[in-house]
């Protein structure tokens, strides 16, 4: 009895060690990788598999979410009052600014009408929480808890209170992956707020550095300049802060300046962000009946 | 009578390893995160090559690819090849003294990292820094305690299932 089992197991074992199975697996993997690299083809499979692994991500996120919940629930009355007061002051300050904004926006629309160019329209936003899961350690990617079901789409911009965080690179039904602006493969069209000088901010792979490699030596740029998104390339809405220039170096013999900027968003400590819909994307991006879920107009 | 040892505890160990791979860590510890899943795959293919084989390693790899957001098949192919090499030499490796075994595991983990590094290079995915290689180091350093831990799981299963191995 046990002998036959042994023989059976041994013969099946010979099967598994044979290089044939490895070759097949390698070929299958290669086909998958090539298809995945060309995008599009594997979206459905990835979506299905992401639902399978979502429980793992949710389970890992759970203790952290619980910690945050406990932190909020059991905080002392004094601290809550203090926080409330701070928020009140913030709201006051913000609404004061907003009042001026409304007037400025109206003026802007009027002036743009005079110039015969289309006005920048208000964007629709949705709050998304960052899922506490570390993604690829070699890339700057994060996972957010809003996905295709909420109308999130690939290429959508993600911001936080400070400025632009990144863009959505993959949407799953329940979650979405976002690439941060500091990822080594990320590039973002920006302009310098002081003089509207347009350039491109590249990620460096360093969480608190952006590089601006395409500024000529005579460009008017200095440390402290604010970078805002220019809206060119149509991936990001225009006018959101991206970063502040911290260092300008010019090397003799080099045609371009070496300019470093610090991201405006607090990239390594964000807990939640805002997804932005551009107005012209709204019609085709939103599934029916979901347009009003947890949204607010920021006009 | 021969009773087949249960396989599910292996998958519990695998699930734990996979979860540890994406557990959030503060930035400065990140480069030291050992490749948990690869370590678990090496252990179980070495000890139970008949029950935990290439297919299982491949499935673990695919799950990792989804979780990490890497190319679908990248971790899968690397882990399959590592599992294959481990299986090929499992009889020799198993009786190695600990330091030699740890060196072998270091080589296997390095191979795992190198295959991914190479695929990233071919795919043109920029990868920053040396953290890939420091992870291999921590993986090898943590091998002896992790092996002891998984040994306990394995012995438990085998004594209960009147084991064949």
DSSP one-letter string for chain A: -HHHHHHHHHHHHHHHHSHHHHHHHHHHHHHHHHHHHT-STTHHHHHHHHHHHHHHHHHHHHHHHHHHHHHHHT--HHHHHHHHHHHHHHHHHHHHHHHHHHHHHHHHHHHHHHHT-PPPPP-EEEEEEEES----TTS-EEEES--GGGT--TT-EEE-SSSEEEEEEEE-SS-EEEEETTSTT-EEEEEETTT--EEEEEE-SSTT-EEETT-BTT----TTPEEEE--TTSSS-TT-EEEEEEEEE--TT-SB-EEEEEESS-TTS-SEEEEEE-HHHHHHHSPTT-TTTTEEE--
CB contact under 8 A, A37 and B123: yes
What would the CATH number be for the domain defined by A187-263? Answer: 2.40.10.350
Assess: ipTM above 0.85. Answer: no
pLDDT tens for each residue of chain B, 165 residues long: 456 667 888 889 999 999 888 888 777 787 888 999 999 999 999 998 888 888 899 999 999 988 888 888 899 999 999 999 999 888 888 889 999 999 999 999 999 999 988 988 888 776 656 778 888 999 999 999 999 999 998 888 888 755 444
CB contact under 8 A, A22 and B30: no
CB contact under 8 A, A16 and B54: yes
Name which of A195, A202, A152, A200 is nearest A172 in CA terms.
A152
Nearest residue of chain A to residue B71 (CA atoms): A33
Render pLDDT for A63-94 as a digit per residue (tens, 0 to 9).
Answer: 888 888 888 788 778 888 998 999 999 999 98
CB contact under 8 A, A138 and B19: no
Nearest residue of chain B to residue A64 (CA atoms): B24
Residues 6+ apart with CB under 8 A from A89: none
Q: Is B153 on the interface with A (CB under 8 A)?
A: no
Q: Is B98 on the interface with A (CB under 8 A)?
A: no
Name the minimum distance, in Å, from the CA of B78 to any CA of chain A: 9
Q: Partners of A191 in the beta sheet?
A: A198, A228
Q: pTM for this structure? A: 0.75
List domains and CATH numbers for chain B: 8-19+30-157 (1.10.1760)
Domain ranges of chain A: 187-263
What is the reported pLDDT for A290? 41
Question: What's the rounded Cα separation, in Å, for the pair B61 and B41?
Answer: 10
Q: Is B19 on the interface with A (CB under 8 A)?
A: yes
């Amino acid at each position: 009895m046990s002998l036959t089992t042994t023989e059976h197991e041994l013969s099946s074992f010979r099967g598994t060690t044979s290089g044939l199975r490895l070759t097949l697996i390698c070929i299958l993997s290669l086909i998958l990788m090539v298809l995945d690299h060309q995008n599009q083809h594997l979206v459905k499979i990835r979506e299905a598999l992401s639902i399978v692994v979502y429980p793992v991500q949710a389970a890992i996120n759970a203790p952290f979410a619980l910690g945050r919940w406990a932190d909020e629930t059991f905080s002392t009355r004094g601290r809550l009052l203090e926080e409330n007061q701070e928020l009140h002051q913030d709201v006051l300050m913000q609404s004061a600014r907003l009042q001026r904004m409304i007037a400025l926006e109206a003026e802007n629309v009027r002036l743009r009408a005079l110039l015969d160019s289309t006005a920048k329209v208000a964007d629709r936003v949705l709050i998304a929480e960052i899922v506490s899961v570390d993604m690829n350690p070699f890339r700057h990617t994060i996972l957010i808890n809003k996905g295709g079901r909420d109308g999130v789409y690939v290429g959508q911009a993600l911001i936080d209170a400070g400025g632009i965080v990144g863009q959505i690179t993959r949407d799953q039904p329940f979650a979405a992956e976002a690439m941060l602006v500091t990822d080594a493969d990320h590039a973002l069209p920006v302009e310098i707020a002081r003089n509207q000088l347009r350039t491109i901010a590249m990620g460096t792979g360093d969480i608190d550095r952006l590089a601006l490699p395409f500024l000529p030596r005579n460009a008017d740029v200095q440390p402290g300049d604010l970078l805002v998104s220019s809206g060119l390339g149509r991936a990001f809405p225009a006018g959101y802060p991206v970063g502040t220039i911290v260092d300008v170096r010019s090397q003799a013999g080099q045609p371009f300046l070496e300019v470093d900027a610090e991201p405006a968003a607090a990239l390594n400590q964000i807990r939640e962000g805002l997804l932005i819909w551009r107005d012209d994307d709204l019609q085709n991006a939103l599934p029916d009946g979901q347009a009003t879920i947890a949204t607010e107009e920021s006009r | 009578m021969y009773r087949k040892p249960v396989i599910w505890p292996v998958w519990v160990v695998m699930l734990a390893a996979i979860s540890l791979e994406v557990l959030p860590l503060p930035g400065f510890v990140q480069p030291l995160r050992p490749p948990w899943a690869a370590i678990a795959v090496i252990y179980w293919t070495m000890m139970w090559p008949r029950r935990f084989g290439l297919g299982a390693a491949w499935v673990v790899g695919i799950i990792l690819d989804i979780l990490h957001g890497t190319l679908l098949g990248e971790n899968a192919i690397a882990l399959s090849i590592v599992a294959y090499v481990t299986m090929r030499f499992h009889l020799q490796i198993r009786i190695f003294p600990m330091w030699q075994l740890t060196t072998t595991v270091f080589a296997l983990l390095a191979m795992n990292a190198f295959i991914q590094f190479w695929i990233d290079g071919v795919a043109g995915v920029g990868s920053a820094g040396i953290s890939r290689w420091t992870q291999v180091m921590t993986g090898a350093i943590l091998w002896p305690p992790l092996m002891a831990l998984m040994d306990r799981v394995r012995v438990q299963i085998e004594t209960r299932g009147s084991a064949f191995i």
